[in-house]
């Protein structure tokens, strides 16, 4: 997957096809769950928001709701993103829990329709308003993984 910038610094778009690739270690775990949490700050206040993710070529592509403007706060900034399988029930028969967190720079990107399809169905609404997708590309610089073994 490659992304090139076109137009103004505030307008970027993807120009290559996104292909799913096998990543090793913690990034591979992200492929096992569809959603995670994005953290950064907006007007000097920290916030968390939910995002749908895809791992490709060692980078993470996020889809989030455009209506809150969170994607704009992240554009050009370092963000943190995390996902886990904590919804899964840990059992005594070897069911282990894990979480992955990473930080890195994010940039807003535009996708072609066939690239958007990789995310699957989008929500219909968010807090009662129509869902409008925005996409971020994050290059993970620091990655951590935590496991709870049962």
- How does pLDDT run along the chain (150 residues), one tens digit per residue? 334 433 333 333 333 223 333 333 888 899 889 999 999 988 889 999 999 999 877 789 999 999 988 999 999 999 999 999 998 655 444 578 899 999 999 999 998 887 888 899 999 999 999 999 999 999 999 999 998 887
Burial class (CB in 10 A: 0-12, 13-18, 19+), 84: buried
Task: Give the pTM.
Answer: 0.78
Query: How far does Cα 89 stand from its chain's mean position?
Result: 24
CA distance 54 to 18: 9
CA distance 79 to 87: 24
3-state secondary structure of 19: coil
């Amino acid at each position: 997957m490659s992304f090139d910038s076109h137009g103004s610094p505030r307008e970027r778009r993807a120009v290559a096809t996104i292909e799913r690739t096998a990543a090793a270690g913690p990034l591979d775990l992200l492929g096992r769950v569809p959603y995670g949490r994005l953290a950064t700050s907006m007007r000097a206040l920290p916030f968390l928001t939910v995002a749908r993710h895809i791992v490709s070529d060692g980078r993470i592509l996020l889809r989030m709701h455009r209506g809150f403007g969170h994607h704009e706060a992240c554009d050009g900034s370092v963000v943190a993103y995390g996902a886990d399988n904590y919804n899964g029930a840990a059992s005594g028969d070897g069911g282990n829990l894990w979480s992955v967190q990473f930080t890195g720079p994010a940039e807003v990107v535009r996708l072609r329709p066939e690239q958007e399809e990789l995310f699957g169905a989008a929500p219909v609404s968010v807090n009662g308003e129509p869902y409008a997708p925005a996409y971020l590309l994050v290059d993970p610089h620091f990655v951590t993984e935590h496991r709870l073994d049962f």
